[in-house]
Amino acid sequence: MCASLLKIKEENVGKVIGIDLGTTNSCVSVIENMEPVIVPNSAGGRTTPSIVAFAKNGERMVGDMAKRQAATNADRTIVSIKRHMGTNWSARIDGTEYRPQTISALILMQLKADAEAFLGETVTDAVITVPAYFSDGQRQATKDAGKIAGLNVLRIINEPTSAALSYGLDHGEAQKVMVYDLGGGTFDVSIIEIGDGIIEVLATAGDNHLGGDDFDQRIADWIMKEFKKQYRADLTRDFAAMQRIKEAAEQAKKELSATDSTQIVLPYLTQIKGEPVHLDLTLTRSEFERLVYDLIERTAGPVQTALSDAGISAAALGRVLLVGGSTRIPAVQEKVRRLTGKEPSRNINPDECVAKGAAILGSTLQGQSLVAAGTGQELLLLDVTPMSLSIETVGGVATRLVERNSTLPTRYSKIFSTAAPYQRDVEIHVLQGERPMARDNKTIGKFKLKGIRRAPAGVPQIEVTFDIDANGILKVSARDMDTGMQQSITITASDRMTEEEIEKAMRDAHEYAGADSLKRDALELINASQSLLNRAQMALKESKKEMDKETKKQVKADIASLQKLVSRFRLEKVTQEQLDEIRQAKEKLEQSAAGIL
């Protein structure tokens, strides 16, 4: 429904998948019959929870399976990993160190496998979306996650841009659009200009730590407060109870998008003095709105910033698009109405459009020319830098090279000089942020340009260049114009993985995938062997008289050897040799018992 008018010039559409790697849920889309369609997961769901869990027996779970067991395995279940992207967060599980990139890679591997099952072919190319506010380090971490998962990431694209892309193709007329995207963990607002086959992001603003998870937390806190009032017991240390409360909180929140009041019932939530305690509460929509009032209010700031950065008033907006599951909340829609004076568009599925836009871009990048219906022109996509970029100069000042909301890809140069006489080297301190002083911005990289010719202060000419590619990834270089000496870095935030680390994680992921498929094969073989044993034993009993002695002896011997192998089998320790042995014994029994089965 997002891009029903999409037309693609060439018939032979390649299979690039578009991935919305969300904080709470992820979604995959692919172009089929010239339309972006959603790839269902193995359970038939159109979105997959971005959750990874490690069972006690070492089994790894992703998506719905991981979500279902979260309550009973809370400390080995990882949720909202997107919030940690680009940080040095890590978790040690069963002796293995997991970084945000590796956890995200596990989610991506699952999405890739689902797409392969859906398409019946191998998938390698992907476009992955990120919040517009993601820094360079966070984008790079997302790209690395894709690489670890065995994906060739053609492009990282901002989520609102992606949504507008799938939207823009539906509507031919030129206009400025606001994309208000409130998901599970992030909030983005973008002002986008759509017209004549061009989608240009004029401005973006947002909050990396605001979303549906926070609403759930408010309800969970309220439940715990009510529980404490009733039972004088604190649940904060009871992991399993907390997990169930969180799930119930999300469920209640969703229900309140459609009803005025909801019942939260959690039987056997905990025990107090050996007695089971049940929870039964009623939450009304107005109470919920009171609980999250300030969170919804917080979206106003970025809306104003984006409008003023784009140099327009709300009245100049053609349309307001709602993206992200949390925009289903009536109070959020009301807030958008009040902020913009416009009725937000609803003819776009907030959970699916981002992935669909990524699939559309994916096929464009593969050489398929997309045209906006009715315009007959090829589509051009212009993205922007989410934050200003500067370097530190004398007195700790942040001197800007790239203004926020500059269109990508881009290249900016500026000439600097030395501050002290006979200075032989300079440090290039690269900063991201809007503040005038270096110390108030975020350091995203540092390097030295050495070997400058001895000269009085202010004489050497050093050209500093910022090069930002279409993915928003930054390369900084400094060149001494006198000697031609040059130094450059691709910005690697301290949390960025090295190439070796990525290589290792890729190997681990493959090994693990191998081990997982060995386990899957083993379980299938054991089940089949067990059922063969049952059938053979039954048949042996029933056909005693008709069987000649030799065959009977052989079948009995084959049953015994297969039985022995099956009873020795341990899933955690299974090897390929063991499986081969079982398979042979199974085939032998199948042959000897063929006449009676």
What residues act catalytically?
Answer: 20, 82, 159, 181
Size of the site for ligand AMP (CB under 6 A): 18
In the complex with ligand AMP, which residue's Cβ is closer, 322 or 509? Answer: 322
Kindly state whether residue 349 participates in binding ligand AMP, applying the rule CB under 6 A: no
Kindly state whether residue 351 participates in binding ligand AMP, applying the rule CB under 6 A: yes
Sequence-ordered strand ranges (E) for 450-589: 462-468, 474-480, 486-490
Closest approach of ligand AMP to the CB of residue 81, in Å: 13
Helix (H) or strand (E) holding 303: helix 300-310
Per CB under 6 A, the list member of 18, 49, 146, 212 interacting with ligand AMP is 212
Per CB under 6 A, the list member of 257, 399, 410, 488 interacting with ligand AMP is 257
In the complex with ligand AMP, which residue's Cβ is closer, 8 or 115? Answer: 115
**Looking up tokens 């039972």, which residue turns up?**
231
Kindly state whether residue 329 participates in binding ligand AMP, applying the rule CB under 6 A: yes
**Distance separating alpha carbons of residues 405 and 543, to the nearest angstrom:** 81
SS3 30: strand
**Looking up tokens 């909050």, which residue turns up?**
207
Closest approach of ligand AMP to the CB of residue 45, in Å: 12
Other CB atoms closer than 10 Å to residue 500's CB: what's the count?
Answer: 8
Which of these segments, 17-25, 52-60, 298-306, 446-454, binds ligand AMP (CB under 6 A)? 17-25
In the complex with ligand AMP, which residue's Cβ is closer, 324 or 460? Answer: 324
Interaction pattern, residues 150-189, with ligand AMP; x per rule: CB under 6 A: ---------------------------------xx-----
**Distance separating alpha carbons of residues 169 and 31, to the nearest angstrom:** 14
In the complex with ligand AMP, which residue's Cβ is closer, 100 or 460? Answer: 100
The per-residue DSSP string of 482-493 comes to TT--EEEEE---
**Distance separating alpha carbons of residues 411 and 477, to the nearest angstrom:** 11
Closest approach of ligand AMP to the CB of residue 326, in Å: 4
Nearest alpha carbon to residue 400 among 408, 415, 411, 389: 389
In the complex with ligand AMP, which residue's Cβ is closer, 22 or 344? Answer: 22
Closest approach of ligand AMP to the CB of residue 177, in Å: 18
Cα-based distances in Å from 11 to 31, 177, 378, 449, 524: 11, 31, 16, 51, 40
In the complex with ligand AMP, which residue's Cβ is closer, 140 or 186? Answer: 186
Other CB atoms closer than 10 Å to residue 253's CB: what's the count?
Answer: 23
Interaction pattern, residues 536-575, with ligand AMP; x per rule: CB under 6 A: ----------------------------------------
Closest approach of ligand AMP to the CB of residue 49, in Å: 9
**Distance separating alpha carbons of residues 70 and 459, to the nearest angstrom:** 63
In the complex with ligand AMP, which residue's Cβ is closer, 37 or 513? Answer: 37
Closest approach of ligand AMP to the CB of residue 26, in Å: 8
- Longest Cα pair distance anywhere in the chain, in angstroms? 110
**Looking up tokens 């309140």, which residue turns up?**
256
Which of these segments, 171-179, 221-229, 247-255, 380-388, binds ligand AMP (CB under 6 A)? 247-255
In the complex with ligand AMP, which residue's Cβ is closer, 256 or 596? Answer: 256
Name the region of 14 (left: φ>0; alpha: ψ -120 to 50; beta: rest).
beta
Nearest alpha carbon to residue 472 among 555, 407, 553: 407
Which of these segments, 246-254, 311-319, 361-369, 488-496, binds ligand AMP (CB under 6 A)? 246-254
In the complex with ligand AMP, which residue's Cβ is closer, 142 or 592? Answer: 142
Backbone angles phi, psi at 526, to 5 degrees: -65, -45
Per CB under 6 A, the list member of 112, 143, 285, 328 interacting with ligand AMP is 328
Closest-CB residue for ligand AMP? 212
Q: Is the Cβ–Cβ distance between 375 and 169 less than 8 Å?
A: no
Kindly state whether residue 344 participates in binding ligand AMP, applying the rule CB under 6 A: no
Kindly state whether residue 254 participates in binding ligand AMP, applying the rule CB under 6 A: yes
Kindly state whether residue 324 participates in binding ligand AMP, applying the rule CB under 6 A: yes
In the complex with ligand AMP, which residue's Cβ is closer, 295 or 509? Answer: 295
Helix (H) or strand (E) holding 574: none
SS3 401: strand
Kindly state whether residue 46 participates in binding ligand AMP, applying the rule CB under 6 A: no
Pair of tokens at residue 30 = 């692919």
Q: Which of residues 21-40 bind ligand AMP (CB under 6 A)?
A: 22-25
Closest approach of ligand AMP to the CB of residue 86, in Å: 18
Closest approach of ligand AMP to the CB of residue 325, in Å: 2
Which of these segments, 109-117, 194-202, 324-332, 457-465, binds ligand AMP (CB under 6 A)? 324-332
Q: Is the Cβ–Cβ distance between 328 and 257 less than 8 Å?
A: yes
Sequence-ordered strand ranges (E) for 333-394: 370-371, 380-384, 389-393
The per-residue DSSP string of 342-367 comes to SPPB-SS-TTTHHHHHHHHHHHHHTT
Nearest alpha carbon to residue 211 among 327, 56, 349, 385: 327
Binding residues for ligand AMP, rule: CB under 6 A, are: 22-25, 183-184, 212-213, 250, 253-254, 257, 324-326, 328-329, 351
